[in-house]
Structure 1
Amino acid sequence: MPDPRSPYFPDIRLLNHFPGQYLHIVRDLLAEGGHEIVFMTEPNRNNLAGVRKVTYARPPATHAAVHPSAREFDVAMRRAEAGYAGANQIKALGFVPDVIIGHHGWGELLNLCDVFPGVPILGYFEFYYRLDGTDVNFDPEFPMSDDRYGAVRAKNGVNHLAIALEQHGQTPTHWQWRTYPEWARERISIIREGVDLDVCKPDPMARRRNLGVGNLKVGPKQKLITYVARNLEPYRGFHTFMRALPAVLAARRDVVVSIVGGDEVSYGAAPASGTWRSQLMAEVGDRIDPDRVHFLGRVAYDDHVKLLQRSDAHVYFSYPFVASWSLREALATGAPVIGSDTATVTEFVHHEATGLVTPTLDHDRLAETTLRMLEDRKLSARLGAGARDYAADNLDLKAYLRAFRAEIERITGQSLTPPASAPVRKAAKPKAPAPRSAAKRGALAGTAV
C-alpha cells in the first residue's frame, strides 16, 4: 500500500518478458526512488537492482488436438492462468499495486483484475490483425489463400478480451492506433516511444575516419549503405533490398554494404528451405561482391549506432506492420534514410524532409533512390539534418518518459513525483494533428506526434 511518508508513487507492477519495452520507464522510476516495483515474467537471466522479479512457469506447448487457428489463444489462456496464480502469490505476501502495466499480446494481464479488483491496468496494444490495409496479402509474391483468413481474425482473440476489460491502453504510433476498430480507440492513448538522443546522435567525424565492425572495413573515401532488421526477411523488405544491390554495386565501385540481422523468422512464414538470406543469395549472389557486402549478424549496440552514424544511405523497409526501433535510432543519428512507402514508415520518414520514400516492392526504384542519395551530397546532408530535427522534436526518450508518467498519473489520479521536482510541461508543437480520440480525452504532454 502507499507509504504515507512519501509523496512518490510506490507500488507498480509490470508484466511480460523482463524488462521488455519497459526498461527505460523502470530505470527512470528507480533513479527517482520511492517506488516499489514488482515485475512478473517468464524465467530469464535479466535483473535490475531495485526491482523484485517474480517468475511464472512458461506454459507448455499447446496440445495437437487444439485447432491450429486457436493455438495462440490457447497458449495465451495458459499464460493468463499462470499470471493469475503468480499474482495471488504476490498478494498473499501483502503486496497490492497501485497500477499494473504490461503488454497485452501474450495474455498475462487478462485475469489480474480478479486478483486486484479496482487496480487500474495500463496495457500495451501493439497491433490489431486485419485482412485489409496491413500485412495480409500486401506482397503478391507471398499470397495468403482465403481459407486462412479465419486464422488471421482469430489472432485478435486476446486483443478483444483485453479491450473488454474496459481498462486503459497505450500504443506508440498513430498507424498502430488506427489498426484498432474505432470502437476500441477511445481507450487507447498514443505515447510515442523515444530513443536516447545523447547516445543516438550524429557524429560529424564519422565519415572522416576508418570504421571497422566485424568483417566490415570502410574508409573515408567509400560510401556505406546500411540495412538493419531483427531478422532478414521479406516483412522488413530484405528481398527488395537484396534485389536492388547488384545495380547499386555495379554503378559505384566505392560502395560498401553493411547488413545487420539474424537468420531466424520474426514475422511471416519461413522459406520453403534454408533461410531468407540463402534464398536471396541463390537468386542474386552471383552479382554481389562478397568483399563489399557484409552480413554482420547481430552486433553490439555501440557498433549498431556507429554504423548508423557513418551511413551514407540507410535503407529501412517494412510491410504495413509495427515499426522497428532501428528506424527511430537511424533518424536520431541523422542517417540519410530511404524508407518504404508504407504508412508504418511514412509516419516517420517524410519524403524530401526526413528522408526519401520509394515503393516497398520495387527494387529498381530502390536502386535508383539509393544512387541518388549517394550522389547528391547536399541532399543527403539536408535529409540527415531533417531526420535529426524530427527525432529531437518527436522521438526524445525524455519526452516519452514524461508522457508515460503523465498517463500513469491520469489513470490513477495520483502523482508520481513530489510537486517541487515535477517537470515543467510546455505546450507540445506537433507536426501532425493529434488523433480524434486523443483530442477528446485531452492529450497529455508528450503524446502528440
Structure 2
Amino acid sequence: MKILVIHQNFPGQYKHLAPALVERGHDVVSLTPKVEKPTTWNGVRLVPYTIKGRSTEGIHPWLQDFETKILRGASCFAAAREMKEKGYNPDVILAHHGWGESLFLKDVWPDARLGLYCELYHLATDEFTRFDAEFDRGNPSLTGMRIRLKNLNNRLHEEVMDAGISPTRFQASTFPERWQERITIAHDGVFTDEVKPDPAATLEVGDGQILTRDDEVVTFINRNLEPYRGYHVFMRALPEILRRRPNAQIVMIGGDETSYGAKPPAGKTWKQIFIDEVRDQISDADWARVHFLGRVPYSRFLAMLQVSRVHVYLTYPFVLSWSLIEAMSAECAILASDTRPVREVLTEDETGRMVDFFDREALVDGLCALLDDPEARARLGRAARAHVVETYDLRTVCLPRHVDWVERLATLDPRPIID
C-alpha cells in the first residue's frame, strides 16, 4: 500500500507509526518542508516542498491564522500535483491537519483515503474561553465569532476526512458529533520499557549540584512555562512550598516562549513575569533551591522524572501533555489539576491526586501531604505505572492500534469532496 504522510514538522506524531508501516511492507512517503533535498529517514522517503507566499500586512486579525493555513495548503497542493504528474498516487494520506497543509490534497488525489490526526476542535464555551479569568482579555460578545473563524480549517477538513484518530477521549469530545463517529481514540503511547523508575538516577542541576532519589525533589514540566499549563499557579505557591519544605529542591523544565493562549506583554516572558512577582517573597537561600533547566535532552528529562519525589502537573482544559503519561510511567507520585483531560488518565487517590487548578492552598497542602507520606507515594506511583503499561504502552497497545487504524482506513470508500 502507498501511504503519504503530511506533517509540517515531520515526523511529529508519526515518529513511530511511519517506520512501523514501512516494517509492515508499505511504501511510505512524507511530503515535508523540513528537508531541502529528497532523502530517507527510517525507511520513509522524504520529499521536500517550499512554503510560498507571506501573510498579508494589515489583514483582519481573525483571518491571520487561516491565511497562513491557506499558504501552507496551496504550497503543499502544488508539490502534490507535481508528484501526481510523475506518477505517484497514494492509497492513503495521513495528515495532522492543524497547519492547513492537507486542505487541498483530495483535489489532487480524490480516490485516496484521508486520515486526520484530530488534536483539538476550538470551542467557545466558558470552559475553554473563560477558564482563567485573569487572562481573559477578549470581548465576550465577539468570542463566538472569532472561534468559528478559528475553526475554518477544521470545518473544511471535516468535509473530506475519511477517518480521524485522536489521542484522548477529551480531545475527541471537542469535535462536533458528526465528526466523532469517524474518530478512533488511540494514544500515541509511551516506551514504558525506557520510561521507568531507576533508583540509581541522578540529575545535575547546575554548579555541580547532583540530585538523587534521596533528595526531596519536586518537579514541574511545561514545553513552555506559561499560564495554560498552570505555571503562574505553581509559581505563586512556590514561596509557601519553600517555607514549609526547607529541604525541598524545586526543578522545572520548560522554555521561555508561548505555545498556547495569550502572549505576554511585548519584551517579556511568562517565565520572568512570575519570577518577578514572587521573587521578593523568597530569600536568597531558598531561591538557591529553585532550578530552572530550560529545555533539555530527553535523557535529562527522563532523569528528572526518575529522581522526582512528587511531580506537579497543571493544565487548562486542553490537549493533555505527554509528560504526564511519562511521569506516571516513571512511577512518579502525581499531584495534578482536577481538570477534564487529567481526569481521563488519573483516578483520585489510586493513580494520583488532584486539586482545583486555582486553589493554591490545596496545592501546597496536597504537595506537603504527599512529601510526608512515603507509603502513599509508593502506592500511587506503582498504580500509575501499572495503568500506563496496561493502557498507554507504545509497543504492545498504542502502536498496534494506530497500524490497525491505517490498514482499516485503506478499506473505506473514499469520501468525495463537497463543493
TM-score, length basis structure 1: 0.85
Distance in 2 (alpha carbons) for counterparts of 1:78 and 1:220: 50
Q: Tell me the residue number matched to 1:268.
A: 261
Distance in 1 (alpha carbons) for counterparts of 2:350 and 2:165: 28
Residue 159 of structure 2 corresponds to residue 159 of structure 1: no
Per the alignment, do residues 358 and 172 of structure 1 end up closer, same or farther by CA in structure 2, a change over 3 Å counting?
A: same
Per the alignment, do residues 389 and 220 of structure 1 end up closer, same or farther by CA in structure 2, a change over 3 Å counting?
A: closer
List runs of 5+ in structure 1 lacking aligned partners.
1-8, 415-449
Residue 139 of structure 2 corresponds to residue 145 of structure 1: yes
Residue 58 of structure 2 corresponds to residue 60 of structure 1: no
Q: Which of 191, 196, 199 is matched with 1:196 structurally?
A: 191
Residue 241 of structure 2 corresponds to residue 248 of structure 1: yes
How far is the alpha carbon of 1:49 from its aligned partner? 4.0
Q: Tell me the residue number matched to 2:12.
A: 20
Distance in 2 (alpha carbons) for counterparts of 1:413 and 1:134: 38
How far is the alpha carbon of 1:244 from its aligned partner? 1.1
How far is the alpha carbon of 1:120 from its aligned partner? 0.4
Q: Show CA shifts across 1:235-293 (max 9, x none).
A: 00000111111111111211001100000001111222511111111111123423100
Distance in 2 (alpha carbons) for counterparts of 1:19 and 1:134: 32
Q: Tell me the residue number matched to 2:71.
A: 78
Q: Tell me the residue number matched to 1:356.
A: 353
Q: Tell me the residue number matched to 2:251.
A: 258
Distance in 2 (alpha carbons) for counterparts of 1:323 and 1:167: 25
SS of equivalent to 2:89: coil
SS of equivalent to 2:345: coil
How far is the alpha carbon of 1:63 from its aligned partner? 0.4
The code of the aligned residue for 2:178 comes to W
Distance in 2 (alpha carbons) for counterparts of 1:223 and 1:50: 44
Distance in 1 (alpha carbons) for counterparts of 2:221 and 2:253: 5
Distance in 1 (alpha carbons) for counterparts of 2:351 and 2:157: 36
Q: Tell me the residue number matched to 2:280.
A: 286
Q: Tell me the residue number matched to 2:415.
A: none
Q: Tell me the residue number matched to 2:377.
A: 380
Q: CA RMSD in A?
A: 1.8
Distance in 2 (alpha carbons) for counterparts of 1:166 and 1:264: 32
Percent identical: 39
Q: Is the 8 A contact 1:134 1:321 kept in 2?
A: no
The code of the aligned residue for 2:263 comes to A
Q: Is the 8 A contact 2:20 2:403 kept in 1?
A: no
TM-score, length basis structure 2: 0.91
Q: Is the 8 A contact 1:221 1:254 kept in 2?
A: no
How far is the alpha carbon of 1:59 from its aligned partner? 4.0
Q: Is the 8 A contact 1:18 1:44 kept in 2?
A: no
Distance in 1 (alpha carbons) for counterparts of 2:49 and 2:326: 33
SS of equivalent to 1:225: strand
How far is the alpha carbon of 1:43 from its aligned partner? 3.0
Q: Is the 8 A contact 2:162 2:409 kept in 1?
A: no
Q: Tell me the residue number matched to 1:310.
A: 307
Per the alignment, do residues 212 and 96 of structure 1 end up closer, same or farther by CA in structure 2, a change over 3 Å counting?
A: same
Q: Is the 8 A contact 1:213 1:303 kept in 2?
A: no
Q: Tell me the residue number matched to 1:217.
A: 210
The code of the aligned residue for 1:21 comes to Q
Q: Tell me the residue number matched to 1:401.
A: 399
The aligned length equals 401
Q: Which of 53, 77, 102 is matched with 2:95 structurally?
A: 102
How far is the alpha carbon of 1:413 from its aligned partner? 2.6
